[in-house]
Structure 1
Amino acid sequence: MEQHARARMNLPQPAYDSLASLREEMKSEVSKVVIGQEEAVELLLVAALARGHVLIEGPPGSAKTLLSRAMAHALGATFRRIQFTPDTSPDEITGTYVVKAGEPVFMQGAVFTNVLLADEVNRTPPRTQAALLEAMQERTVTVDGRTHQLPDPFLVIATQNPFEHEGIFPLPESQLDRFLFKINLEYCAADDEVEMLRLPHTGVTPDMLGEIRPLLGIVGLDKARQELDATVVPESVARYVVTLARRTRELDGVLLGASSRASIHLMSAAKANARLDGRDTATIDDVRAMAPFVVRHRLICEGPTADEVLQQAMASVPTPV
């Protein structure tokens, strides 16, 4: 606890005027090293405010890792990366006890950080993937019967390559349901790729990570989250969220619809989106804007795609007047 308190004092103070301005400032800072991924930056900021984790899926070389590092810098948070492989052990994630001078001493694993990049999470077996479950949901890890609190904030950004088909272990539904967002990262536009070539590089590595200005830090993120928690959610908006989630369970071709956790995640994301837009009340437009990133990775469909099911559900749920 004392260590965490010192970390709070040492991390930078907020460097933004309002949450409405924070969104643009965050995109500006991250664009020093990552060009053309503004939507992903916005969604990662929403996730940080909403205390949610993010799964990023995209082809090799689409800046998944670099984007994660840049966001950690801009948030003013500590960062760790773990490269998942078939022989990655759960202990590398959670930590383990070792004996020193005859006494058991806990050696922290990779999750003891503010932002954890779980790179290529689908390349490690289910036993190791499961080591993330408690950390993602409870913000704690239990090792040898002892529970250890993770730092606050704690954000997992996991990546996977959709083009890998050999030696992979798809994430189970229980783990997918713990991700607030799934972001499909595509290659950026041609003009953005040209602009990318103009960035300062040391060899093939972008050379501007150190130039990113921390905008939040622990103090700023706590303050922003308090604003988020105070966001007004009208009854009509809450009912729309529940009706939309329930509708995805009823449509033809759906084997598994959106869970109750999905409803909670969708409402939290809508509140964060409203705050970043300078409003203190969430609207149905906020819900509809966040729904594709919150819901589609939770759907299991036979016939229609998850996107088609979600579009059908949103079209069939009446919008209150």
Structure 2
Amino acid sequence: MTLDLWLDVNNNGVVDPGVDNLVRSTMTDENGQYAFAGLPAGAYLVDVTDARGVLAGMALTDGADATDDYSQVDPYAVTLSSTGGIVSSDFTADFGYMASTPLTISGIVFEDSIKNGAWDAAEILIPGATLSLYRVVDGEWFLVGSTTSAPTTGFYEFTDLPAGEYRVVADVSGTPLSGKFQTTQTATGAVQHVTLESANSANNDFGFYAPPYLPTAVTMAYFSATARSDGAIDVIWGTAMELDHVGFNLYRGASLAGPWERLNSALITPQFPGATTGADYTWLDAVVEPDTRYTYLLEDVDTQGVSTFHGPVSITASPPAAVTLVAFGAGGNPFAGLSLLLALASLALGSWKRRRALL
């Protein structure tokens, strides 16, 4: 989400190009969070520009005036004062949006034991899988949020969505399906394509199957990425066991659609090959650009040359600063809070929350 910060020169609470000064522009990260840092005292206006059209089909909500975590008018006037050389902070520049016609995407995650690409009543439903939802605008994917499949039912859903194009991606790392082959979405690169128009979309199901004659190369415990305060990105993963495992490949792309670049020049060897115990791994990706989003995909390779892919996970690289963002999580509600150095505000899309800060 794009936002502009203006210096309100004539202090009238209205953006007047040619009179007011554009201080800077920014974008929210995958969690809807943003910050304007290092500002001098003055009268400012925060303007949600949505240059990429992510808010299409959504309307600004009305909340308590000048109150943190409540939706404000757009543009929103903020005054920062200085006392003893210390500039004040403002946490109230929050904007909430909700779908004009709220819609839902839902489905289940299951073990496709008969390998027919559809759930049958006797097949096991899988809890704990991570489902990530992306909105597609002009061919670019924007992360809406993530959720997990429910205990017992394997059910997941994303609610309060506007009409539009979406993609759903399933990550079964850490579940009984880890390392198994996906039997659904085979024609679309393991990604579920969804078009919302005027009705909810159900039965967006994900099935997985493992032939009994193939060994499980590795059991994944987790796979994620974290933006570091020095501007680099840590890609981290862990295994629960490493039977019949020969190594990993790590790939980076500009989006889930690729193109993909392999980061390691040689296979990343397991710490405990053939063991029933697991290990933790970290890859430091230092060749990144600030405020740029990167997507990572992990491949594990077994002794028979069979590859299993995990992820993807996405992260936005931070400028070197005193602010650290954790940019990818498995929580079902993307309204996660953000602790910033001086100030914070938020932007919400229906059930999505956008946060930012003025410092």
Normalising by structure 2, what TM-score?
0.22
Normalising by structure 1, what TM-score?
0.24
More helix by share: 1
For the pair shown, which has the larger CA radius of gyration, 1 or 2?
A: 2
